Amino acid sequence: MKENFEKLREQLGNATFENYVGLQDGYSEMAYQMVAHVLTLGYATMLAGLLYFVLTINWVAPKYRMSSILSGVVMVSAFLLLYVQSVNWETAFEFNTEEGRYFLAEGNRADLFNNGYRYLNWLIDVPMLLFQILFVITLTKSSMSSVRNQFWFSGAGMILTGYVGQYYEVTDLTNFAIWGAISTVFFFHILWLMRKVINEGKEGIPADAASTLDSIWWLFLIAWMLYPGAYLMPYMGGIGLDGAFFNETGVVARQITYTIADVASKVIYGVLLTVVAQKLSAAEGFDYVKNNS
Amino acid sequence: MKENFEKLREQLGNATFENYVGLQDGYSEMAYQMVAHVLTLGYATMLAGLLYFVLTINWVAPKYRMSSILSGVVMVSAFLLLYVQSVNWETAFEFNTEEGRYFLAEGNRADLFNNGYRYLNWLIDVPMLLFQILFVITLTKSSMSSVRNQFWFSGAGMILTGYVGQYYEVTDLTNFAIWGAISTVFFFHILWLMRKVINEGKEGIPADAASTLDSIWWLFLIAWMLYPGAYLMPYMGGIGLDGAFFNETGVVARQITYTIADVASKVIYGVLLTVVAQKLSAAEGFDYVKNNS
């Protein structure tokens, strides 16, 4: 691949590594289809999740319902943007009958493939997901408005710097690393703050609700750590064009990673918050099943 | 760029500066994608906002609910028109593998890019957004019907004259400036009237609700000022073809500006009006959380 790289770089400019692979080696049927399927699974999960969150709003006491509403907001925006991302994959590459592989499409309506749709989706989702937990837990020490503002500031900072960085993933490794590092600083601040919020939230609540909050912490930590992994995916198998992942394997691995992370950090996270809210509601005497029997 | 400009003008007629850039210099991958992402973010936010306004209607006392309904009306119309605007961007330009840039597409299904979709969207949104606040505040001096009629007259006047003006942004700077100036006169009337409405609305209401009304004034002022900025964007960096913004930078800056303005003036404005309505509802003894516990 090396000989042609400079020529490719001229042709594609700042394009993502999905496009370099699609122009140079192309994708096997299996690799191409796996990405198409996993992207479709992603947006279908979001629309299905929307139904769940809307239909279960009244299962929790009124003061917890904003959490379900914000999960719904996240589902709508994620559904639309993941749908567009999926269409982007399908229009960016086309099957070449001679070669038996998928290559970058040419001509009419052929955009290059770009993960930026995901990043700008997160600009809505990340502040909402972080805000959402503040409607379920009760802060014992911190001020609600201070935590919210810190979440929003670092959430937006993390996304915007990561968004800029991903444009350089093939063409400028220095910029890619610098923007990624700045984004990571914001990410660590969010992790630290979330740990604090969950610690405060566990105080004085029933043990089973506190235990679900602990599960939410581990889910949050693991799911959100997948995103920097996906950012670095082209170089996970070694820096450079000969790295084990700078090929269709890396592309498939990245989209699978993104989808697992999206389902975990948006849908499962929202469901677990609803579970905590149901336990707290019951402890406060609000029981949807009994009330409506 | 200058030599070809007269030829371009003949070819494109009244076309927008996005098309001139797309025909002459083309767009880099980064510039093209940033516009595609930000347009997608715009319509996704509107559909997510629709869900929020529908699900929170009952959180305020009945007399304030028309504000949420009108926010919903704005979300539906903005979602559809911004979606069409986004598709318009994707079909107007296509990637040229030789040059490594996006140029104006030719042939099948290639429309020129035009911001007019936005303007005609505002013909619905602007009267609704201005009308909406009159369901949350109580006018102490002015007559409701007089304020409403002035809002609608100047709102429609501002949009229609701006819509005509934007057709001349490249080909006829005199007409561009004259129609823009007339539009601005209507805009100043709206600003003056909104300030008056908010001043009256603050009288006799709880201090925290009055303070949120003040935030709405600043949000309104700043968000609505972004639109004339976007109108003038091709010439923000100097009048003429050599201006710092008569290129892809100006195009990206304009679509980012429009999107920030849309999210602020439609979604955040609506959310803040809901917050005021909740505070007023609580002061009047209507409390969603308590009522449903």
Supply the pLDDT for residue A14.
Answer: 80
pLDDT of residue B241: 80
How far apart, in whole angstroms, are the C-alpha atoms of residue B95 and residue B84? 20
B252: left (phi over 0), alpha (psi -120 to 50) or beta: alpha
Q: Does A87 touch chain B (CB under 8 A)?
A: no
Tens of pLDDT along A121-145? 999 999 999 999 999 999 999 999 9
pLDDT in tens, B247-270: 999 999 999 999 999 999 999 999
Q: Which of B95, B98, B108, B275 to mutate to test the interface with A (most CBs of A within 10 A)?
A: B95
Rounded to a whole number, what is the distance in angstroms from the first to the last CA of chain A?
67
Mean local confidence (pLDDT), B159-176: 94
User: Model pTM?
Assistant: 0.94
- pLDDT given for residue B193 in this prediction: 98
Whether residue A107 is predicted with pLDDT greater than 90 in this model: the reply is no
Crossing angle between the packed helical segments B65-92 and B17-24, to the nearest 10 degrees: 30
Secondary structure element (H or E) that encloses residue A54, with its range: helix A29-55
pLDDT at B293 > cutoff 80: no
CB contact under 8 A, A117 and B37: yes
pLDDT tens by residue, A15-41? 889 999 998 899 999 999 999 999 999
Residue pair A275/A267 in contact (Cβ under 8 Å)? The answer is no
A-chain residues near B55 (CB < 8 A): 54, 57, 69, 72
Which are the contacts of A270, defined by CB distance < 8 A and separation ≥ 6? A49, A53, A67, A68, A71, A74, A132
Report the amino acid identity of residue B190. I
pLDDT band at residue A7 under the 50/70/90 scheme: confident
- Chain B residues in contact with A84 (beta carbon < 8 A): 40
Decide if B29 and A11 are in contact by the 8 Å CB cutoff: no
d(CA B45, CA A124): 7
Cβ neighbours of B29 in A, within 8 Å: 12-15, 112, 114, 167
CB of B174 less than 8 A from some CB of A? no
CA distance B126 to B278: 24
Interface of B with A in 4-43 (CB under 8 A): 28-30, 32-34, 36-38, 40-41, 43
Quick check: helix, strand or coil at residue B96? strand
For B191, how many CA atoms within 13 A lie in the half-sphere containing its CB?
A: 14
Q: What is the pLDDT of residue A145?
A: 95
d(CA A61, CA B291): 11
Other C-beta atoms within 10 Å of A18: how many?
27
pLDDT of residue B122: 95
Q: Categorize the per-residue pLDDT at A61 as very low, low, confident or very high, splitting at 50, 70 and 90.
A: very high
pLDDT of B100 reads 85
* pLDDT above 60 (res A1): no
Q: A234: which 2 tokens?
A: 């082209």
The per-residue pLDDT for range B265-289, each reduced to its tens digit, is 999 999 999 999 999 999 999 988 8
Interchain proximity B51–A72, CB inside 8 Å: yes
Report ipTM (2 d.p.).
Answer: 0.94
Number of other residues whose CB lies within 10 A of the CB of residue A3: 7
Which is nearest to A86 in space by CA: A233, A255, A222? Answer: A255
For residue B1, is pLDDT > 60? no
Residues A77 and B41: their CA atoms lie apart, in Å, by 8
B287 touches chain A (CB under 8 A): no
Test B48 with A10 for CB contact under 8 angstroms: no
| A139-185 residue pLDDT tens | 999 999 999 999 999 999 999 999 999 999 998 999 999 999 999 99
Match 């989209």 to its residue by tokens: A255
How far apart CA B30 and CA A165 sit, in angstroms, is 11
Residue found under tokens 């849309």: B262
What one-character DSSP code corresponds to residue B57? Answer: G
Contact A27, A102 (CB under 8 A): yes
Model confidence at A110, in pLDDT bands (50, 70, 90)? low
pLDDT tops 60 at residue A108: no
Q: Who among A14, A54, A120 is closest to B41 (CB)?
A: A120
Q: How confident is the model at residue B11 (pLDDT cuts 50, 70, 90)?
A: confident
